[in-house]
Amino acid sequence: MADPNFHDVMGFNPATAGEVIYEDDAGDTTIPDIQKITKRNNTLPIHGSHVTMNLNPLVLENIVSSTRSSTKSTITWVNVKHLEPWERGTRKSQGMSGFFQVRGVGAGGIISSAFCLLYKLFTLKVTRKQLVSMINSTQSVYLRGIGFMFIRYTQPPADLWAWYAPYLDDDEEVDPRSGGGEKMEVGQMIRTLLTKLDWYGTLFPRIPIPIQKDIDNRLREHGRAYHGNYDNNWDRNAGNGRGPREDEPSTSTSHHHHRHRDEPRRPKRCHHHQKHYHCRKHRKKCPSKAKKARAEETKATGDTHNKSNSTEAV
């Protein structure tokens, strides 16, 4: 059997998929420069490993095993129903052995169709033309999501803003969580990809600090220009699409999107804990103040005890 090509893997033909089949004019200002397709730039650069696609070793191991066992060898985008690395309910099988191990489940769990397809596209050496077709697809929002994740895993950090900026206000709805329950707009997913390393228990490649600072500044400027009084901190702390699965899927539907755009957003962390994730728990009671109060109480108790001992001695 011949090796699958891009159209076989994606499950569509170029006549109906809206794939870009022309060469763009370099002077056309209506198309983002990074999406302009010419004969010279159609081959995409690859940042980091040209073998592992910068994937977590456990994720990659399960992708390879699933492909070899033919359980995921014939998938197309039609099979993709979420964007997590693991199928629902299988991740907890790690560490089990003997009679309690689930047959056919690897050390990490059952790898998802989305990540199998993501790696398969990497091995096929997706071109710029094909990637542009994916992220602008009208067939499936999950096809677009795979394209955006492919960019995050493989493209140079310096190019991420150019790829993602046109989609920051994209309001198409996607639910990346396996089993559902965490709907968000594509624009919110893009912000997550730009500002967070963790994606449902796996990690994206680290962005160099100078580039990350520049991205954060651009996000703030974009927010001020398009949303009035906007603070990017809310999006960095929202939690959607980043943490590993809990026992029950979240029923949150990103309620902050329903707020009026001109309404000032309250900070979700106390001032002296800007860089700590746990501070959302301390909106009402600051832990530092509590610690200081306990120290003063202990000191006062100690002084009283010493005074009583002195009185008894007299």
On whether residue 76 sits in a domain, the answer given is yes
- 198 within some domain: yes
- 42/86 same-domain check: yes
> Looking at per-residue confidence, does 220 or 19 come out higher?
220
Average of pLDDT values for 283-299? 69
- Please report the pLDDT score of residue 160 as a whole number: 97
Same-domain pairing of 77 and 121: yes
Q: What is the pLDDT of residue 128?
A: 94
Do the domain assignments include residue 272? no
> What's the pTM?
0.65
- Top pLDDT among 58 and 265 is at 58
Q: Per-residue pLDDT tens for 235-281? A: 444 445 455 554 444 444 444 444 444 555 544 445 444 444 344 44
Do 235 and 115 lie in a common domain? yes
161 and 304 share one domain: no
Q: Both 257 and 290 in a single domain? A: no
Structural domain of 88: 6-94+101-267
Cβ atoms 215, 161 nearer than 8 A: yes
State residue 67's pLDDT score. 72
Same domain, 211 and 299: no
Highest mean pLDDT of the ranges 11-25, 65-79, 209-223: 209-223
Clarify whether residues 37 and 144 are in a common domain: yes
Are the CB atoms for 86 and 201 separated by under 8 Å? yes
Q: What is the mean pLDDT of the chain?
A: 74
pLDDT exceeds cutoff 70 at 16: no
Domain total in the chain = 2
276 within domain boundaries: no
Residue 142 has pLDDT above 90, yes or no: yes
**Residues listed for the chain:** 314
Domain contains 145 = yes
137 shares a domain with 107: yes
pLDDT band at 106 (very low <50, low <70, confident <90, very high): very low
Q: For the segment 174-202, what is each residue's pLDDT rounded down to a tens digit?
A: 999 988 888 999 999 999 999 999 999 89
Which one has a higher pLDDT value, 211 or 18? 211
Helix (H) or strand (E) holding 202: strand 202-203
Q: Is residue 173 domain-shared with residue 296, that is, in the same domain? A: no
